[in-house]
A and B are shown apart, each in its own frame.
Chain A
């Protein structure tokens, strides 16, 4: 029977696919996936390469159960997690400084917001903001200001929606350590977006 209505790769014997075509077909997609998460172009390139090499070796196991692309992204996903894990548990000095910062200048002695420095009203609404290219650049700049380790944790949790328990296991960190990192990341990112985007687009009037 003719496999016309089926996905092509399900019928073609694995050996007939030229793995080199993956680079043109999926290279950019894989590269983007990696670059967003690891932020260094060279590392992203390496991860894509490793992914494709693994794919070449396990080609016959891929029996067209999913699309070629999601199969490759799946391999890359694991590679990224491996990369995070290999980065190790050590927290650098700058990270420690960042994590220790209680942002105490934003609060008065008694632990309440200093009203002059408290969060502003965000206008325009988030849903409108998301259509703007420059907004996403600001978001990227703010993410890149976070210490590497903290940014990794934040992105795994918020971007890839990795459950907290799994995240702790993968990175071999305690849950309380995770809460601190996420809290600081959110605090810093919130402020960075406020200063560099929302206040600029719509300068705060009074408070």
Chain B
């Protein structure tokens, strides 16, 4: 069956890991008292849309100490926002983003007809 979970093992990239007995105790304590990663990713997404409470933010920061993965995830969400904001101007340099000539002609005709009626 599954092995008992071992948060922040020695060779992982998180700040706090199990290098010594006291450190292991801190890691375990944080693991027990902060939200699980499945929960953290949900909270982080919500945090992109509304302000999180001070308590939640503190818990997240504690969690990051033993979980570099969630910390990366939060960095990535901020990047996603940055990318999305820049996306429209960047993508429009691609060729497919020019209106086909046939569509232009058609629209011109329609607009011309409509303008003729109102003038």
Contacts and interface: CB of A to CB of B under 8 A. Distances in A.
Interface of A: 15, 18-20, 22-24, 27-28, 31-33, 35-36, 41, 44-45, 48-49, 52-53, 56-57, 59, 102, 107-113, 115, 118-122, 126, 130, 133, 136-137, 139-140, 143, 154-155, 157-159, 161, 164, 179, 182-183, 186-187, 189-190, 193-194, 207
Interface string B14-54: 00000000000000000100001111011001101110000
Interface residues of B, number: 58
A93 B80 CA distance: 26
B80 to A, nearest CB: 6
Chain A interface SS verdict (over half): helix
Contact of A107 (B38, B75, B88): B38
A207 B114 contact: no
A23 B107 contact: yes
A15 B114 CA distance: 13
Interface in B70-119: 70, 72-73, 75-77, 79-88, 90-94, 96-100, 103-104, 106-108, 110-112, 114-115, 118-119
A19 B49 CA distance: 40
B67 A49 contact: no
Contacts of A158: 80-81, 84-85
A19 to B, nearest CB: 5
A183 B114 contact: no
Given A136-B87, A139-B83, A157 B49 contact: yes
Nearest to B39: A111
Given A111-B37, A190-B80, A179 B46 contact: yes
A10 B118 CA distance: 20
- Residue of B7, B83, B98 ringed by the most chain A CB atoms within 10 A: B83
Contact of A112 (B13, B37, B42, B118): B37
A179 B49 contact: yes
Nearest to A125: B79
Contact of B7 (A24, A112, A119): A112
